[in-house]
Chain A
């Protein structure tokens, strides 16, 4: 069964800490995405990547950075966590060839910043 795996289901961090959220997919997908999900706001795109070492800003990139050194791995980095970054973070991947951009999601990482 194909998978997108997020390294942590639950994290609790302190304000100012550096936070790494890791995502790995085993489908050889070219595209990878990071969304955050907040009640009443749906999913908002933070960053995406369409190739190794390539990244594009989404709608809310402020306070975040990303890294894609290998095709299967896409990391989200919070350089200095703040309480307003408490959220559910969802990683997804998609295949470029179809042109449809159907997303396969991981189970999510719920981050609490104290």
Chain B
């Protein structure tokens, strides 16, 4: 079962622009995480936000969480060509089970 649904499915922007990806989920969560996947490779953890947090920053990444709407957004500021990848939100509701959405494919044009 997919918990997270990302929006948009694909996004194409120019280098230097900001990229925003959204994620909606269905059940209560302990935390929400964002991962990045370069083409054909494994996923890399980017950032985690706990259910009692509303916003988190890490470098050029900003994540928000609205538990009342069961949604999150990932903002990448001043995008670079190297940010081209797929981005996944993942939720942890309890225990050790992490559920992923289908991902957003980001393409940053140089």
Q: Residues of A with Cβ closer than 8 Å to B?
A: 4, 31, 33, 35, 40-45, 48, 50, 58-59, 88, 90, 92, 94, 96, 99-108, 110
Contacts and interface: CB of A to CB of B under 8 A. Distances in A.
Contacts of B25: none
B57 interface: no
A42 B2 contact: yes
Contacts of B44: 105
A29 to B, nearest CB: 11
B30 interface: yes
Interface string B23-35: 0000000110101
Contacts of B48: 100, 102
B102 A99 contact: no
A108 B97 contact: no
A48 B41 contact: no
A102 B45 contact: yes
17 contacts: A31-B96, A33-B96, A42-B2, A42-B88, A43-B88, A45-B98, A59-B1, A99-B30, A100-B31, A100-B48, A101-B31, A101-B92, A101-B98, A102-B33, A102-B45, A102-B48, A103-B45
Contact of A43 (B45, B50, B100): B100
Nearest to B100: A43
Contacts of A99: 30
B86 to A, nearest CB: 9
A46 B35 CA distance: 19
Interface in B10-45: 30-31, 33, 35, 40-45
Contact of A40 (B90, B96, B100, B102): B102
Contacts of A103: 35, 43, 45, 90, 98
